[in-house]
């Protein structure tokens, strides 16, 4: 991994672990709520396996997951990430600059449903990691934007427990589609990995 990306990822990972252990006082709404580092490695492996270069992310926060994508797609990659919170957008922007990957990443500030309705193009990999109330709508909007053989990942399938009813509905919805294959992987907070079939 590039040393600048690694430095920022390591710093954010330490912050994230402190946050998860409840050992830091964080302003309400400013928690990172990031994927775990092993999930970052898992996504990186998936992206490399499918030779993915174009990533769409819903829910940027401080940019931890985005940095894993930036490292995996390399200099020819392109990442679009959506975040509604202006403070988090600034924090992510700063982290991307420090990691030297800001040129690869377009941050779309706004409400995900509004932004998604304007997004065009094809993506190799999508991460759904914003509010869970709209996750089925996000899936339906992004499915046409994913190339055959591309992947849609959804975080928090298993943890925290209060998301489970919504995530079960999501899994049922995804599995009702004919042109995808999907599985819940018990890594990190639980990842639904869905491949779009040709
Ligand atoms: C779980 S965090 C994302 C974590 C990030 N993917 C990572 O692993 O580092 C969810 C983020 O989605 C943002 N968010 C929640 N609902 C949103 C919406 N409707 N539109 C845009 N952003 C939203 C929140 O502000 C928060 O920063």
Q: pLDDT (tens digit, 9 = 90+) per residue, 68-108?
A: 999 999 999 999 999 999 999 999 999 999 999 999 999 99
pLDDT tier for residue 26 given thresholds of 50, 70 and 90? confident
What pLDDT was estimated at residue 16?
94
Residue 107 main-chain phi, psi, to 5 deg? -95, 125
pLDDT tier for residue 25 given thresholds of 50, 70 and 90? confident
What pLDDT was estimated at residue 29?
83
Which of 63, 83, 99 is the pocket-test mutation for ligand 1 (most atoms within 8 Å of CB)? 83
What pLDDT was estimated at residue 192?
98
- Paired with 83 in beta bridges are 109
Atom of ligand 1 nearest to the CA of 63: 9
Sheet holding 146-154, edge to edge: 105-109, 78-83, 54-58, 123-128, 146-154, 191-196, 180-185
> What is the number of domains present in the chain?
1
- Here the CATH number for the domain that contains residue 16 is 3.40.50.150
Which of 10, 61, 154 is the pocket-test mutation for ligand 1 (most atoms within 8 Å of CB)? 61
Cα–Cα separations (whole angstroms), residue 118 to 113, 180, 198:
9, 24, 25
Segment (H or E) for 124: strand 123-128
Which residues does 161 contact at the CB level (< 8 Å), separation at least 6? none
CA 163 to chain centre: 17
pTM > 0.95 = yes
* Stronger pLDDT, 163 or 29, i.e. the higher one: 163
What pLDDT was estimated at residue 120?
95
Bond from prior residue into 99 cis (ω within 30 degrees of 0):
no
Parent domain of 119: 3-196
């Amino acid at each position: 991994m590039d040393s600048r990306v690694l430095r920022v990822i390591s710093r954010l990972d330490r912050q994230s672990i402190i946050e998860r252990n409840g050992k830091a006082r964080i302003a309400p709404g400013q928690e990172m709520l990031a994927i775990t580092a092993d999930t970052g490695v898992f996504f990186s492996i998936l992206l490399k396996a499918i030779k993915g270069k174009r990533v769409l992310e819903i829910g940027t926060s401080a940019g931890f997951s985005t940095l894993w994508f930036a490292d995996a797609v390399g200099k020819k990659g392109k990442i679009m990430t959506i975040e509604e919170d202006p403070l988090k957008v600034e924090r992510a922007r700063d982290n991307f600059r420090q990691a030297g990957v800001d040129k690869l990443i377009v941050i779309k500030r706004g409400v995900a449903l509004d932004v998604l309705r304007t997004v065009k193009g094809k993506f190799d990999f999508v991460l759904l990691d914003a509010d869970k109330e709209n996750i089925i709508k996000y899936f339906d909007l992004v499915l046409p934007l994913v190339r055959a053989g591309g992947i849609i990942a959804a975080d928090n399938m298993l943890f925290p427990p209060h998301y489970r009813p919504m995530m079960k509905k999501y899994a049922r919805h995804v599995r009702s589609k004919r042109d995808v294959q999907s599985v819940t992987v018990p890594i990190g907070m639980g990842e639904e990995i869905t491949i779009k079939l040709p």
